Amino acid sequence: MKVSFHGQSVVRVETSNHIILIDPFISGNEQCDLDAESIKADVILLTHGHNDHVGDTFDIAKRNDALVVAPNELAEYFGGKGLNTHPMHIGGAHEFEFGKVKLTQAFHGSSYTEEDGTVIYAGMPSGILLTVEGKTIYHAGDTALFSDLKLIGEMNDIGLAFLPIGDNFTMGPEDALVAAEWVNAKTVVPMHYNTFPLIEQDADDFAAKVKPGKGLAMKIGDTIDL
């Protein structure tokens, strides 16, 4: 399985049979190296409804007939627009053909703003535990530090964790270091930083402060084997 990072919170997972995108904010994201008009995807996983996470979901899913897995209200919103969706909620897990998805808590907000400015309530924000081919990836979504991250680490053998470090809207580097300790993943990758000035951070500095050998500041487009 190959996992690549593409700026903000965009993660691409390529398994032997499927291509999975998480939070595909591509258009309008100068930190992203992907092409929204040509990228392939079988599945799109969404942590919450904010536009810098939903991104190009509609067009990518429509073009590829991809399955959109999201918190209930967000899935219902896209289902009403004709997409193939699977609604979930925090604490729930489901075995799909491509792997197992479980939604976790994330302390944040969730709404989607349409082009005309209409704000749509998108349910509760979440993190994602994705287990594929015997390996578990934890995408924390946008979240503050919270103590149940200890439980997530204790209950799951996490091979790779993506944690936000941007501060202001999510936890910053100091809190993310505590989260990294609690989640106890084999590899911890910072995300949700440098997309715009308010969340500028030094990812290399963060990675160096994670428990020795566990921090990895992936550059845009970097791929690792899991």
Burial label for 95, CB within 10 Å (0-12, 13-18, 19+), is exposed
CA distance 68 to 60: 10
* Distances in whole angstroms, Cα of residue 174 to Cα of each of 11, 81, 133, 215: 23, 40, 32, 14
* DSSP assignment letter at 30: T
Q: What is the pLDDT along the chain (226 residues), one digit of tens a residue?
A: 999 999 999 999 999 999 999 999 999 999 999 999 999 999 999 999 999 999 999 999 999 999 999 999 999 999 999 999 999 999 999 999 999 999 999 999 999 999 999 999 999 999 999 999 999 999 999 999 999 999 999 999 999 999 999 999 999 999 999 999 999 999 999 999 999 999 999 999 999 999 999 999 999 999 999 9
CATH number of 2-217: 3.60.15.10
Q: Compute the C-alpha angle 109/113/117, nearest 5°.
A: 135
* Distances in whole angstroms, Cα of residue 188 to Cα of each of 25, 52, 66, 112: 21, 22, 28, 28
